[in-house]
Structure 1
Amino acid sequence: MTVPRLVGTLTAGPTDAPTLILGPSLGTSADTLWAAATRILRAHVQVVAWDLPGHGRSPSGEDFTMAELAAGVLALADRLGCETFHYAGDSVGGCVGLQLLLDAPERVSTATLLCTGAKIGTEDGWRDRAAAVAAGGTDAVREGSAQRWFAPGFADRHPEVASALLGALRDTDPRGYVQTCDALAAFDVTDRLSAVDVPVLAIAGAEDVATPPESLRLIASGVRDGRLEVLDGVGHLAPAEAPTVVADLIAGHCGVREARPRTTDEVYEAGMAVRRAVLGDAHVDRATAATTELTADFQRMITEYAWGGIWTRPGLDRRSRSMITLTALVARGHHDELAMHLRAARNNGLTNDEIKEVLMQTAIYCGVPDANSAFRIASTVLAELDSPAGD
């Protein structure tokens, strides 16, 4: 067996936390696919995201099979001193996860398989794509990848995320891409799913044309302990398209959301991770840059008590916390904060229709004038978010 040497990027979490290993999609890198979700997950676990051969930080090497990729993940875990670990993987990373569950189930505590399948596509389709990349490099599949990867409108709303992912595809060694296509062409464990008894969470993107929800439903129903979640408005790269929702689902499946920070510094670090995930790096960076000697203690208190003390609690998910926060801000007339938390609500996975329903509810229980002002602000903020230049 040829075991490829896979390079993993470690993001340290709490010192006594379990390890979560994250697997990539073809043509992506750990840094581009998992970065946003990792900022949330690091509050609960030690995160290791690995790259395929010829992708990101992993070097190209000899040809490999899916079983050999799985062996490469185990070798990476061994180098890190991880006897057991949680695993999550998107697309081919999910295929590797299935292979791990079949080859080394005693090493995997839980598995989250995203936008993947027990078999993906057809052998001829993968051979044709491999031939195209061998002849013309990864530029030959750039347009097709952009169409397959993202739900409609995502690249317009989040051009920086789409650009980073397509940049990783551009930088991928064609040889590694071709080798991964060959491994996918030969991969089919459909008739072995019933042998999997490790708990599996299957996550599908409702808009995923490459591995549609039925592909994940087959996995969830085929293994002995499976559950399916379908994410509305999400395509093939769920960790990049819906990082907050994906991170919360993974943390819940790993059983680590109750692992609360204990020291003041841990509370602050956990709060800062959630604050960045919910409000966005740009907003937090602006607030941090504007901190003065007068406001520094206040900023730390907000991060510790609001974000580290409340937003990290396991009793409610972030979608629910966003809905409650919007209602409270409408009721008190805090319009500047409302605009900020409307953006946060979208980051936390609320749709425009769900935000509308929250504001309709506030009209009854907070008052029509307050709701009227809230709708006016929401119309402006949501239009900005949905415009091609929106962030």
Structure 2
Amino acid sequence: MSPAVATVDFGGPEEGPLILLGPSLGTSAATLWGAVAERLSAQARVVGWDLPGHGRSRPGGPSSIAELAAAVVELADRHGAETFHYAGDSVGGCVGLQIALDASDRMATATLLCTGAVIGTPDGWRDRAAAVRADGVAAMVDAAPGRWFAPGFPEQHPGVCAALLDSLRHTDPQSYAHICEALADFDVVAQLPDIVTPVLAVAGSEDLPTPPESLQLIAAGVRDGEVVVLDGVGHLAPAEAPDRVAALIAQRAGLPQRPATQTPDDVYRAGMAVRREVLGDAHVDRATAAADELTTDFQRMITEYAWGGIWTRPGLDRRSRSMITLTALIARGHHEEFAMHLRAARRNGLSNDEIKELIMQTAIYCGVPDANSAFRIASDVLPDVDRRGDA
């Protein structure tokens, strides 16, 4: 029998597609996903679910990740949806992987954030379960900010953090321990090649429990996977970067990227969100900070037309756009931009080997001297990306 999970109906048009949102351990759907849901509910029916003993759910007994996955599919049944889009953070992402294995015909797309095909170690999870049973969740509350958030986020967004920590504080200890034990038994690394559902794996660059490598493993292992790394984001990406997360889910679900009455400011905001996702916050912050009376209009034009007008189009994924962009920059000899877009390409999921093959291809169609310059720049940039882990 599937565990009973409470739901949070965030609203949206009844005729719209169904998007189900899965939580992280110790959080509630309302506190983790509320800001994202607000951005999605104009175009889709958005429903979150709470783990047993979390948020609105009653305390529950032992339940496996597979049993939680079955409960989510039953939730889609209750909403009359033959298929649904799914997004889940941490253990919610594990549940998404399990649904993709057990009910691939039901889940149209999966956006899996800050998660893994296996997370931590079995002994580590069982030790945590024993600690919570002995001492309650108080110790987890004390440790959570360092585990959940990117450096500086609690100081900049104290209200968001306080709400999430309050959810943890009110979590049933036994239910929390049961989920720890479910995670101790969860390992689907060997089964990733069986997943046919399109998967977008979203990592936080500052995530300690599930670092970017964990999401890259998922994207590389499934049949149709893509990875995005969010700069300056920790383990609870939906709460830390709701604009960027909502845009990724909307794009994956095929929702219209812009309202019909979109204003230039709307285009600019959408473009800025994508520009930050592709180039990274640090680069965009430097560019905007350096803008002056002479260059401010130029910076806005780039954001509005290149990023808001082209990079937001649904016809190509970002990996493909990165490959096209790198090729064009090599052909035109734009070396500074090429170096910048090498970092962007890694953030969009291209490997060093794929970049090497791309440059080899340009040697034939753009010229050996251009490819030679590209290899020289890549030899400088890519080791730094690998060392810093900021792809």
TM-score normalized by the length of structure 1: 0.71
Q: In the alignment, does 2:46 pair up with 1:47? A: yes
Q: In the alignment, does 2:117 pair up with 1:118? A: yes
TM-superposed deviation, 1:258: 4.5
Which residue number corresponds to residue 356 of structure 2? none
Where relative contact order (Cα < 8 A, 6+ residues apart) is larger, the structure is 1
8 Å CA contact retained: 2:243, 2:273: no
1:187–1:321 Cα change, 3 Å: closer
Structure 1 residues 113-160: Cα deviation after superposition (integer angstroms, max 9, x where no partner): 000000000000000000010011111211222211001111011110
Which residue number corresponds to residue 285 of structure 2? 355
User: What amino acid is aligned across from residue 117 of structure 2 in structure 1?
Assistant: A
Which residue number corresponds to residue 289 of structure 1? none
1:159–1:78 Cα change, 3 Å: same
TM-superposed deviation, 1:245: 0.4
User: What amino acid is aligned across from residue 77 of structure 2 in structure 1?
Assistant: D
8 Å CA contact retained: 1:30, 1:49: yes
TM-superposed deviation, 1:352: 6.4
8 Å CA contact retained: 2:250, 2:257: no
User: What amino acid is aligned across from residue 127 of structure 2 in structure 1?
Assistant: D
Gaps of 5+ in 2: 298-391
1:352–1:190 Cα change, 3 Å: closer
8 Å CA contact retained: 1:248, 1:317: no
Q: In the alignment, does 2:186 pair up with 1:187? A: yes
> Which sits farther off after the overlay, 54-63 or 225-234?
54-63
TM-score normalized by the length of structure 2: 0.71
- SS in structure 1 at match of 2:294: helix
Which residue number corresponds to residue 270 of structure 2? 318
TM-superposed deviation, 1:96: 0.1
8 Å CA contact retained: 1:7, 1:76: no
Structure 1 residues 141-184: Cα deviation after superposition (integer angstroms, max 9, x where no partner): 11222211001111011110111000000000111101100100
1:190–1:7 Cα change, 3 Å: same
8 Å CA contact retained: 1:126, 1:182: yes
Q: What is the distance in 2 between the residues matched to 1:40 and 1:67?
A: 30
- 5 Å-filtered alignment, 1:300-319, equals 309=263, 318-319=270-271
TM-superposed deviation, 1:366: 5.5
TM-superposed deviation, 1:320: 2.7
1:256–1:151 Cα change, 3 Å: same
TM-superposed deviation, 1:364: 3.2
Q: What is the distance in 2 between the residues matched to 1:127 and 1:55?
A: 19
Which residue number corresponds to residue 107 of structure 2? 108
Structure 1 residues 349-376: Cα deviation after superposition (integer angstroms, max 9, x where no partner): 9846523412534443369xxxxxxxxx
Q: What is the distance in 1 between the residues matched to 2:282 and 2:106?
A: 42
Structure 1 residues 198-220: Cα deviation after superposition (integer angstroms, max 9, x where no partner): 11000000000100000000000
What is the RMSD computed on CA atoms of the aligned residues?
2.4
- 5 Å-filtered alignment, 1:104-183, equals 104-183=103-182
User: What amino acid is aligned across from residue 196 of structure 1 in structure 2?
Assistant: I
- SS in structure 2 at match of 1:364: coil
Q: In the alignment, does 2:17 pair up with 1:5? A: no
1:319–1:157 Cα change, 3 Å: farther
8 Å CA contact retained: 1:251, 1:257: yes
Structure 1 residues 231-289: Cα deviation after superposition (integer angstroms, max 9, x where no partner): 1110000000001001001111111125846xxxxxxxxxxxxxxxxxxxxxxxxxxxx
- SS in structure 2 at match of 1:105: coil
Q: What is the distance in 2 between the residues matched to 1:251 and 1:227?
A: 15
- SS in structure 1 at match of 2:181: helix
Q: What is the distance in 2 between the residues matched to 1:258 and 1:232?
A: 22
Structure 1 residues 268-325: Cα deviation after superposition (integer angstroms, max 9, x where no partner): xxxxxxxxxxxxxxxxxxxxxxxxxxxxxxxxxxxxx6xx555666xx76243799xx
Which residue number corresponds to residue 241 of structure 1? 240
Q: What is the distance in 1 between the residues matched to 2:274 and 2:185?
A: 44
